[in-house]
Amino acid sequence: MVTNRLRCGGVVSFSLFVSLAVPSARAADEVVQTKSGPVKVERLATLVEPWGMAVLPDGRLLVTEKPGRLRLYSEGRLSEPIGGVPAVAYRGQGGLLDVEVDPAFARNGLVYLYYSEAAESQPKDARDVHDPRTGPDFDKEDNLLKGGAVARGRLDGTALRDVQVIWRQVPKTIGRGHFGGRLAFAPDGKLFITSGDRQRFDPAQDLASNLGKVVRIDPDGSIPQDNPFAKKDGARPDIWSLGHRNPLGAAIHPTTKALWIHEMGPWHGDEINVPEAGKNYGWPIVSNGDNYDGTPIPDHPTRPELVAPLEYWRPVISPSGLAFYAGGLFKDWRGSLLIGGLSSEALIRLTLEGNVVKSEERIGLRRRVRDVVEAPDGAVLLLTDAKDGELLRLTP
């Protein structure tokens, strides 16, 4: 368990935050102190609720804004919104979420978007029912029937062309959050999708639903025949692993090529998992956290047949965005796992030995960090979660 005290022989350090008083027309760069020395934090752009980003082979950056806009950032400029983005159901945790680039983008120009989609036909007089386990932060006015969806399209200049929906959450549900929403391509070309439980709990254990799952599909939306439930009656063939709550981070390990994810716990109990085919990660049967109304959830060790997390947090960090650092700019960070922290307002750096977390460093940024990627030059790019969110560039 990661706590604010000593752990694994490592000291959890909360970085001092220093702002350089440089009089300038643009926002002054900031410097944060880390275990590896001072890190410069530059603001490259301001965006409205940025959520996901992906680097194109030519170095340009695609960035989403949750209200439904996709933009390109390059050479110090943010583009106008890219055309052809599907209509998104922007409300609460929903909207335009992650973006990913096809591994063969140089040849096919394909870009993938995860977003929340309203149902074509809305039920009349439908009302969501407050499940006390979700806690008091519940929007009882949100009665829109919706679900997560993944679309892909060919980036052609300033627009996406031939946009097709290749995957959907089933079933769509009224209201609530927990769309999940991260996309990651495995080296074999399969697309992993993290699908949240829509704050409905039990679907995470139901093989007839793809809520609360990690999903694996081919890039055109078809089902890989080696998926664990591809030939099981009554199970959805797109499921890779089950028992997940709200995974907002996914990345492929650079050496083992395995998928790593993190997921938001309920009241405490954020987790890191390395999802394997067909395995059950426990939600909502077990969690090292508990429900928001204080009712207990048995901890992971009470059910050893459900895969325990590789690491967990009490109190939470609220993880969003995940990247393995493999660049050359931050020499001490090579092989580290970088996690964006929302409530923790930090970039969290974990050092690893195989699949064991050896130490944690919290680099305090005083902003909710929504996504993290490594730039081609080895800088670390972050998105911050706010109406006036930022694209930040971190360099030594």
Q: Which residue is nearest to Ca ion (CB)?
A: 282
Q: Which is nearer to Ca ion, 128 or 270 (CB)?
A: 270
Q: Which is nearer to Ca ion, 290 or 361 (CB)?
A: 290
Shorter beta-carbon distance to Ca ion: residue 184 or 297: 297
Nearer to Ca ion, 278 or 396 (CB): 278
Q: Minimum Å distance from CB 356 to Ca ion?
A: 17
Angle at 346 between CA 344 and CA 352, to 5 degrees: 105
Closest separation in Å from C-beta 198 to Ca ion? 17
CA distance 261 to 240: 13
Q: Taking the complex as a whole, how short is the minimal distance between the CB of residue 261 and Ca ion, in angstroms?
A: 11
Alpha helices in the chain (DSSP H): 105-108
CB of 249 to Ca ion, least distance (A): 14
Write down the least CB distance from residue 288 to Ca ion, Å.
Answer: 5
Residue 304: partners with Cβ closer than 8 Å, 6 or more residues away: none
Residue that is written with structure tokens 């130490």 in the block = 359
Q: What is the DSSP letter of 267?
A: B
Which positions lie near Ca ion, rule CB under 5 A? 281-282, 290, 297, 299
For the question of residue 178 being annotated catalytic, the response is yes
Residues facing residue 389 across a β-bridge: 47
3-state secondary structure of 120: coil
Sign of the C-alpha dihedral computed for residues 292, 293, 294 and 297 taken in this order: negative
- Strands 259-264 and 346-353: what pairing? unpaired
Contact in structure between 187 and 252 (CB atoms under 8 Å) = yes
Q: Which positions ≥6 away from 349 have C-beta within 8 Å?
A: 34, 325, 333, 336, 337, 338, 339, 360, 361, 363
Shortest reach from residue 168's CB to Ca ion, in Å: 24
Nearer of residues 219 and 282 to Ca ion, judged by Cβ: 282
Preceding amide of 254 cis, omega within 30: no
Query: What is the C-alpha separation between 191 and 100, in angstroms, rounded?
Result: 10
Comparison of 239 and 297: residue with beta carbon closer to Ca ion? 297
Catalytic choice (130, 178, 262, 300): 178
Catalytic center residues:
178
